[in-house]
Every structure is written in C-alpha cells, then in structure tokens.
Amino acid sequence: MNFSIIVAVDQKRGIGINNQLPWKIKADFKYFTDVTISHHPDKKNAVIMGRKTWESIPEHHRPLSNRLNVVLSRQEDLNLPESVLHFASFDEALKELAKRDDLGEVFNIGGGKLFAETINRSDCQKLYITEIMATYPCDTFFPEIPATFKKVEESEVMEENGIKFKFCVYEK
C-alpha cells in the first residue's frame, strides 16, 4: 500500500521544537487540510502519526476531522478516542488499513522519527513539502530528500506574517 508524506520544513530541514511547530502559517494549515482530506464521498483518508505528533495537536483539534487518525506507539495506555486507531508499528498500520474498503489515501504526518523511518521505503511515493524560506530554532528535523524523488510541482512564493514559503510536491 502506497503512502505520501506531508510536512513543513525550514531551510535547514527543521520541523519542530519542544513538540511544537516553530511557526504559525494559516495558509499551511489550510494546505495540510486540503491535501489530507478525501474529496471522494465514499472514502476517508488516513493520517498516520507518532504519539508525540498526536500529543502536539491542540486538544480541540484532536482527532483531525474528516480523516481516519492513526497513532503509532508501543505504549498500550494512550487513552485515545474510540475513533482513533492505535498500532505499534507503521507496517502493522499499513497492513490493517489495506483491509478497509472505505480508505482513500494514506499520509504520514510525522514526526521526525517516523519520517526518517519511512522516507526511503519503496511504498513512499509522494512528498508534500511546505518549504519555509527562513531558519528557526529546531530540535527535530526532516531527513534528506532521497534522489529518487523529483520535484513535480512548485507554487509561487507566498508570504504570511513576514514568513515566505511555497508548496512543493515530489514524486518518485
């Protein structure tokens, strides 16, 4: 089963600090939502994330609406809402998701460890990357983009709150 990665990165591939995004860009949140929500009435896209990424989402936004939320953790007692699926590994999650008739696309939404673990897999076919044209203090980073990926889309440079950024799509 193929999946995509979606992430926002700064110029040094930073993606977070203290389990939070270092920037606030409403246009990027909108892009993330537009990309990860299925536009097919009979399908629901899945967003797979590590436990720390789940915990970084503000409580009033959890689970992410109109998507099948999947949290990966070896911990048993996460107290997740009933609608949220919990698996110990990415492989286990993909195996179970593949059995669903109502599944649209699958997105890996992070964090850093999950990106590093999955970006070089053959079933990772597409990267949606918001490139932020600045550098922020970060303690979590996105891995180097493998040479097997080629940039196939690039938006115009946009600016919000003094932050310049663009949306890019890479495919194998």
Q: Which residues pair with 131 in a beta bridge?
A: 9, 166
Question: In Å, what is the CA distance from 112 to each residue of 24, 27, 42, 64, 143?
Answer: 19, 22, 31, 19, 8
Question: To the nearest whole number, what is the mean pLDDT of the chain?
Answer: 97
Average pLDDT over residues 58-84: 94
pLDDT value, residue 57: 94
CATH of the domain at 41: 3.40.430.10
- Model confidence at 77: pLDDT above 90: no
pLDDT in tens, 15-37: 999 999 999 999 999 999 999 99
pLDDT in tens, 102-137: 999 999 999 999 999 999 999 999 999 999 999 999
Q: How many domains does the chain have?
A: 1
72: domain range? 3-171
Report the predicted TM-score, pTM, of the whole model to 2 decimal places: 0.96
Closest CA to 33 of 124, 167, 162, 139: 167
pLDDT in tens, 133-162: 999 999 999 999 999 999 999 999 999 999
Distance from C-alpha of 159 to C-alpha of 27, rounded to nearest angstrom: 9
